[in-house]
Amino acid sequence: MPIEAINWQLLMPELVIALTLIIVLVFDLFDAISKTVLGWMTIVGAGIALWVSIQMHYAGTVGVEFNQMFKVDNFSLFFNIIFLVSTILVTLISMSYLDRGDRKQGPYYLLILLATLGMMLMAAGNELIIVFLGLELMSLSLYVLAGYFRDSPASSEAGMKYLLLGAFASAFFLYGIALIYGGAGTTSVPEIAQAITADDKSPLLLAGMFLLVVGFGFKVAIVPFHQWAPDVYEGAPTTIAAFISAGPKAAGFAAFLRIFMEALPNLQVEWGGVLILLAMLTMTVGNIVAISQTNIKRMLAYSSIAHAGYVLIGLAAANDDGISSAMLYLLIYCVMNIGAFGAVILARTEDGESLMISDYAGLGTRKPLLAMFMTVMLLSLAGFPPTAGFVGKFYLFKAAIGSELYLLVIVGAINTAISAFYYLRVVVTMYMREPEEELEFTPYASTLVIGLVIAAIGVFLIGILPSLMLTPAQNSVF
């Protein structure tokens, strides 16, 4: 394809991220430049890409490039907003976190930008191979980031586990693509939809579909493909645990939605039942196991698994309300989960991070700002009004009721009540229990507080005025 035939304006968000990546790479070569500057460059680049994505979304920009393989529409642009918000928030909470250990920061920000670019490719992929390439670009970056602190045995172990299980999941996904190609004769999303008729239920296609479910299940930590998540979240740097739980999870669901809703709608009867079962299993296992956790990062890991189950409610509903509510919930979840991990970082002591829930005893009086941020995020994760978490669950359950999935709604409501127990347990520990020993906390870092303030504002703003993001989500349904 001649270069002149490409509409580069459609690719502006991706080009901005790619240019930012190059700038950070070049400036990292100069030792005289403060490495904190690289963090601000990452934030500025992601901010510009975010602004461009918002402008294109409201302008209703639609187009396909590279021989119909790359599709820009409101769906991909809405997910770009989720990815870029996650990148900005994670970078803000990372700057002081990296300074503390005097870590080399340049490669860290480069890998975050590479992962972000991979996510954007996944959301805009109109071809299964492009989705796979985006998935691998994102995953390879995350494997390195999970083991970024090489002098930490826990971080190295997390990176190795993530690499091995992630490669295993990628093999399932790629094998699923091969079987879909064998059954449909193409890997193009719209052509697959045309090739599969309502009466075409060949074993090859069904096997490919189920392998795609397994591949995506690993990437977004759906039960029973979730085993890697608690260990990786616990061992990885806390900022990276926040990142893995937010943007990459949203990217997995973006590709999940694109492929299953656009390429495999005629197999909805088959995959719909599977998603209902996986949603109930994921919510229940995630919430029940979270109750027994004493390490707050492991608790948030199982919480993340449970929230993947809530998102599956929207996918199982398989209607416009289900898609839009799943997209809205992913945005809300990214903000409140990054905020929760940011509050964990804010609770650092001179000896390291306070990771045991018992360490938070008495924070309500000793560190009221920290306790307030943590409480806001936990209440939102639990789904209490007037937070965004309540709004997200409300619209997911409403979409499921519209599809007459009453049992799924009942299971979701019961799990919401179960989750309130372990979230409120942390709040009770902070405000109603005396500390066993006096801990010396580090001073608050300005960038970390800025990130948490942005997350808290987002949680309340969407909770009070849900139409601010619900309407764009509804306008993004393909």
For the stretch 373-398, pLDDT in tens is 889 999 999 989 899 999 999 999 99
pLDDT tens, position by position, 447-468: 888 888 999 999 999 999 988 8
Find the range with the poorest average confidence among 105-119, 144-158, 370-384. 144-158
CA distances from residue 134 to 91, 144, 248, 381, 403 in whole angstroms, order as listed: 21, 16, 11, 29, 32
- Give me the helices (H) in 347-444, please: 363-366, 368-382, 388-402, 406-432
Is the pLDDT at 287 greater than 80? The verdict is: yes
pTM: 0.93
Give CA–CA dist 128/451, Å, rounded.
Answer: 35
Name the band, by pLDDT with cuts 50, 70 and 90, for residue 442: low
pLDDT tens, residue by residue, 181-209: 988 888 888 888 888 876 667 888 889 88
User: Is residue 440 scored above 70 in pLDDT?
Assistant: no
Q: How confident is the model at residue 103 (pLDDT cuts 50, 70, 90)?
A: low
Question: What pLDDT is attached to residue 305?
Answer: 93
pLDDT at 17 over 90: yes
Cα 242 to Cα 226: distance, rounded to the nearest angstrom: 16
**37 pLDDT more than 70:** yes
Ranked by mean pLDDT, the top range of 268-272, 340-344, 474-478 is 340-344
CB atoms within 10 A of CB 22: 12
Buried b (16+ CB within 10 A) or exposed e, 51-74: ebbbebbeeebeebbeeebbbbbb
Q: Which two tokens stand for residue 466?
A: 């849900």
Which of 14-28, 186-200, 426-440: highest mean pLDDT?
14-28
| Of residues 60 and 125, more confidently modeled | 125
Average pLDDT (401-418) is: 92
Q: Tokens for 352? A: 């390291």
Nearest 5°: phi and psi at 356?
-85, 135
pLDDT band at 118 (very low <50, low <70, confident <90, very high): very high
* Structure confidence at residue 1 (pLDDT): 45
pLDDT of residue 101: 44
Say if CB 300 and CB 374 are below 8 A apart: no
Note the pLDDT tens digit of each residue in 300-341. 999 999 999 999 999 998 888 989 999 999 999 999 999 999
Residues 6+ apart with CB under 8 A from 474: 320, 324
The pLDDT assigned to 34 comes to 73
> Does position 65 have pLDDT exceeding 70, yes or no?
yes
The three-class DSSP label of residue 352 is strand
Cβ-contact 112, 242 below 8 angstroms: no
Q: How far, in whole angstroms, is CA 258 from its chain's centroid?
A: 16
Q: What are 71's two structure tokens?
A: 């599709």
